[in-house]
Each structure stands twice: as structure tokens, then as C-alpha cells.
A and B are shown apart, each in its own frame.
Chain A
């Protein structure tokens, strides 16, 4: 073999040497393991990224809008690039991904796998192309805001004042973000599960499952049709990109026995069948072991049907429909506070049943009432079996002379209130929980209806009926009466939100990103809840309650007595 042109021996040797060095270096690079940050580096990087705190404990110094000096604690990386590092879209600003996997690749004017998807969430089409970052060019960007093409990024991106060591920790952390595919995601399938606590009313379970299974089947039928029909395949791809070919599966994980044993059962289910996320789920009592499991394993759980969600300002992985029963107590406090000036120093009397529901409502009311400075309050607890009588109610009214009576009990206590409306020294209003009364809400005695106000944390039924058509669709012709309406509607919402979220994820099926995209969603108007609203870090879809009264007549409707009350 001869060279096509004459090369001097010396130059040929140099060329060979260069090639050899390149090969050796390439091989070394290939063979070298990807640097995995130590646990400590990871912890410090996370602290910088999420809290804006340097390893020294001092806040990172930063500048925004050109020259506004700020603490990194109020301008953290996570606030714009979000927990997954995969960026955000908000208002007029698109924040690109900042994870190593994407930064260290050249940026094209599309997201690979979604080249032709004309969606707003296909953000890359709005961004200029750029070469791959290196550690040096990434450090330069963080320090100066100048990218590898010498462009200055938007002024909203702070310029962070980081020393060499801190910068290395930060870059190491960025490389770890959304880097490894999570369990439950393969190139063909995304696996989900739903948790059912044994002993839950079968109608309630079926009402939770039917809309979820409909969402899963609907998606899979698209994949099946796409395999058989080229036009459907093209349409599916144009809308969903790579997602169109993926199949979904939904397993049922049934928890048996005492809540203390659930953790081991969940571990076993998860070991046998890792899932990307838990969808829905249902329990008539405890949910905390499932919540804790999800928190520790970093598994998203979208909207379990529970009355007692775990309330936390910092937990991340479980999204709830609301703050549960407690939210009604909190809203009642806010509503009464709005009229507290009329109380003229008289107290609020809180009378509550020593049941879980009664105590949760009472705690919500008590804590909110105190926090907002609601004035005098007196409380009476009814033991689990104690019957509330008219005599006892009147005695309490005469003793305490309350401006308002807050009563947290089921329908059993309603009869004790009869005759109260006719009393001269009665409180101005009685406030109770619409959901605690349950179906008895529709049978409040006529003479009490003018005095009794109720918390009602949903859209009024007569206004929500316009969504019946949506709900019937997911039940596929089965009669609505066979299902628990509230739960079907809740589960319908779950199916819609997770479907929309997966579309917005554009192939980046990472657990933190699932929550990140839900946080970016516009407010939604779905059945049951007046306004389903998220924002970055928000964990409760619906956050308030109406105060209503039951209208008169034999076929009464609920009448709104307040705007949507936010506790």
C-alpha cells in the first residue's frame, strides 16, 4: 500500500505519532469511567443548586439583570432550571436544560425524537444552536453569562461568583442531573402502578380505576393503531414524537393488613416490578406509609384518593388533590374571620366529634383561626359514642353565648340543632362540613337551612354537570350511577394531568421532570374542582372551598354564600 502523495519520511513519522497519540487518548477517554461524584460532592452540589449555599455555608453571590446584586439563596439554579435540571417555560422566558448530558452535546434547533412536533413544549426550536459545552466553557457561562458562541444569555440568568473548587462541585452536580434513565422506563414501555388498600369499598376502588385504565388503554390503542396504519403512525409521531410508540402499563399493588406492614409489601412489589410512577391509589384511612415510601424511593405518586394527605412544605413526590379534610376546617376559619368584626367580642364555639374526621377539621380550624388572629374561641369535644342532644346544644349556647357555632360531626348531630333557629339567643350562624354530612347534606331539615352554612370544597353540582359528558366518555357507556361520582371525577383529572405531562416531557422521562412539567402547567378547568392549579413546587391541586347553604324545597340545590375561600 502506498500513500497517494509523497510524504517526507519525517512528516510521515509525525503523522503516525499523532494518530497513535489520538488513538491512545481516545481509548483512554473511552475506557475511563465517567466521573461519579462522591456522596459528599453530590450533597454539596445539591446544596448549591437548590439552596444557593456554598460549601463554606455562605450564600453564593450573584448578579441579575446586568447589575442587580442578589444572594444566590433567592436566585437558586433550581428556581429556573428546576429540580430535574431540564429547564422551564414560564411567561416569556424559556430556560434551557442545564444537565450535563444535554449541555455537553451540541444544541440543534429541535429536540431529538421530536423534530417535527409543533408544540410549545418543543422548546429547542426557539433556542439558537450552540456547540457542546466543555467544563471550561460551562464555568465561563456560570461566571459571566457568555455561552460558547460568545452570546450573552438572558439577563434573568444570574452570574454566579464561584471559586475554582466550588465551580468544580457545581459542574459535577450538573453532570449528575437527569443522567440515568429511571426504573420503569424502557425503550418500549413506561410502567405505572396504582396502590389499593385492601378493604376499601369496591365501588370506590372501581371508580378510581376505571378512568385510569381508560387513559392507559387509550394511549396503547394509539400505539397499536400506529403499528398497523402508517397514517396514524405519522399523526401520532407529529403530536407526540417518540412517546407515540411507547406503551403504558398499569399494575395493581394491593396492600393488606396493618399500615405498619405496608412498607415491606411496597418494597416487594417494587423489587419485582419497578415502576416509573404511581398513579392514583386509594385508601379510606392511612396513606402515610405510601407517601414515605415514594419520598424515599423518589417515586412520583399522582393524586391518591385519600381524605388525609400527608401535609408538608418540603416533601416532593406525592401530589394530592387538596389538603384533604383539613382544608375545609381552614377555609371555615378564613370565612368566619372575614365577618369577625360583627362578633363584638363574642367567641366562636367549636363543637367537634372525637373521630379522625372531626378532629382533623377541628385542628384545621383551630390552627388557622389562631394564625390569622381570629379572636376568642371555645371548644367542646364530643366523645366517639356521645349523642349530641338539643338540650346539650342549648346549654352550651346559653353558657358560651357564641357569635358562631362551628360543628364538625356527621348527620347524627343535625337533629340536635332542630329548634335552634327559633331560639332568641342563638348564634348568628352554624358552620359545618358538607363532606362530613355526606349524602345527608341533601336532607338538612328545612327549618335549619337558613342557619346552617357548609364548607363545600368542590364546584357546585349543578354547575359541574356540564362535565358529565367527559366522565361518561371514560366510563365507556357504563351507567354513571354504578360509580362514586366524586372519585370518578378525581381519577379523570389524574388521567388527564399525567397524559398532558408525559406529552410535555418530550422524551425526557425523568421522575423529577414529571413534577417539574406539572408545575409549569397552566391552570386547568376539569370536573369537580373549580380550578386545578399548580406552580413550581406546589403540591395540592385545589386549595380552597366554597361556603354554601342548602336551598329550600323538596329538590334543593346548593347556594353559594362565598367566593372561593383560600385559607
Chain B
């Protein structure tokens, strides 16, 4: 008994951690996305883009151009590809004007996502100018996630969130996997299209 008790205790602890993780059914009726309007204070951090260039986040997001932000990571299997497909589709609709709208993806896996990986990811989604994928130190990434009330303790716990900056500096927060038409409608409403 002495020998196997630690194993059992370890298992119990592990299982209790796992059982409290939130989860949604995989096969379910589509959930309507949730839309709220929020005020966020963008932290003054320097991140790195897919070209390895330093980017001051505040400047990028408050440049006056229409802006959208999401939190993804390059090896994500489910949610991120859907969010990125939304960006791809938006850029297609914008056509040659794609750079007029600033799309920003911020990695939640800075441990893995270096500029080379960010660049490859954008190529996979046929990104055009105007879509930047940023990484940084974990401390700075955590600050940004907290600022958007989108902190994920771990990348495996992340949620589908997209933020669109309104003309008045407020942010439209979209929570859920939304269809292309819903996405476009939101962008139009925010003046991005």
C-alpha cells in the first residue's frame, strides 16, 4: 500500500484538475456568438512581428486605421484555423485595399511561435499586407491578454475571441465561432468594410 499510495494521490489530484476544466459538447447546435462593447487600456509593450521587427502594440492598434485583434497560436488544431480563415476571407473581400484594415493576431504560445513560425503560418493562410502576427515575452503577452480580458492560463484553454476597434476607441468583443457573413456584418457595422 505504501508503494502505490503516491501514485493514487497523484492520479486523484490530476483527475480533479482535469474534471474542473470547462468543456462544451463537440457535436451541438451552432452557438450564437456573444457581442459586447468594451473599453480596454492597451498596454505599452513592444512585441515582435513575423518579420522579426519590433512593433509597439499601442501604436499599431491606435493608428487610426480600422483594426481587428485575435489571440491564436500556430500549432492550434481547432479554433485558431477558423478565426484565421475569417481573416483570410475578410482580406479577400477587401481585395487590393487589404492593407487599409489592420488585422492583428497575437500568439498565446510565445514559447514556440518565433517569427519564422509566424511567417509560415501567415503564408499558409495566404495573408496579405495588413495582417500581422505578433509574439513577445510571456510577460508581455500575458499583459496584453489581461488587457483584453482574454487571459488564458494555458493555450489549451483558449477561447474564440475577436476584437474590433470602433471609431470611438471602444472595442467590439465577439465571443464564439461566427460565420463568414456574421463576421462581415460585424466588420461593416464597425466601419471596416
Contacts and interface: CB of A to CB of B under 8 A. Distances in A.
Interface of A: 64-70, 73-75, 79-80, 82, 88-96, 117-121, 123, 126-128, 147, 151-156, 217-219, 221-222, 225, 229, 232, 235-236, 239-240, 371-373, 473, 500, 503, 519-523, 531, 533, 535-538, 543-544, 563-564, 566-567
Contacts of B73: 535
B85 A91 contact: no
Contacts of B24: 92-94, 126
Nearest to A334: B114
26 contacts: A66-B180, A68-B183, A74-B85, A74-B125, A75-B85, A89-B156, A91-B157, A92-B24, A92-B159, A92-B160, A96-B26, A117-B15, A126-B24, A126-B26, A151-B27, A152-B30, A154-B177, A155-B177, A156-B177, A218-B3, A225-B1, A232-B4, A239-B15, A519-B75, A523-B154, A538-B75
Nearest to B10: A499
Interface stretch (B35-43, B62-70, B105-113): B105-113
A79 B117 CA distance: 16
Interface of B: 1, 3-4, 6-8, 11-12, 14-15, 18-19, 21-30, 52, 73, 75-79, 81-82, 84-86, 88-89, 109-112, 114-116, 124-125, 135, 137-139, 153-160, 177-181, 183
Given A70-B85, A73-B124, A126-B25, A120 B115 contact: no
List the 3 closest A-B pairs by CB distance, nearest first: A120-B18, A66-B179, A94-B26
A79 B77 contact: yes
Contacts, number: 199
B15 A564 contact: no
B72 to A, nearest CB: 11
Contacts of A118: 15, 19
Contact of A239 (B8, B27, B29): B8
Mostly, the A contact residues are loop
Contacts of B12: 239
Contacts of B115: 372
Contacts of A65: 82, 85-86, 177-180, 183
B81 A79 contact: yes
A126 B115 CA distance: 37
Contacts of B3: 217-218, 221, 225
B26 to A, nearest CB: 4
Given A67-B180, A90-B156, A120-B21, A95 B11 contact: no
A523 B6 CA distance: 22
Contact of A563 (B135, B137, B157, B178): B137
Nearest to B92: A69
B18 A128 contact: no
Nearest to B88: A70
B8 A235 contact: yes
Contacts of B18: 119-121
B116 A371 contact: yes
A564 B7 contact: no
Q: Which one of A70, A232, A523 has the highest number of Cβ atoms from chain B below 10 Å of its Cβ?
A: A70
B11 A240 contact: yes
A91 B79 contact: yes
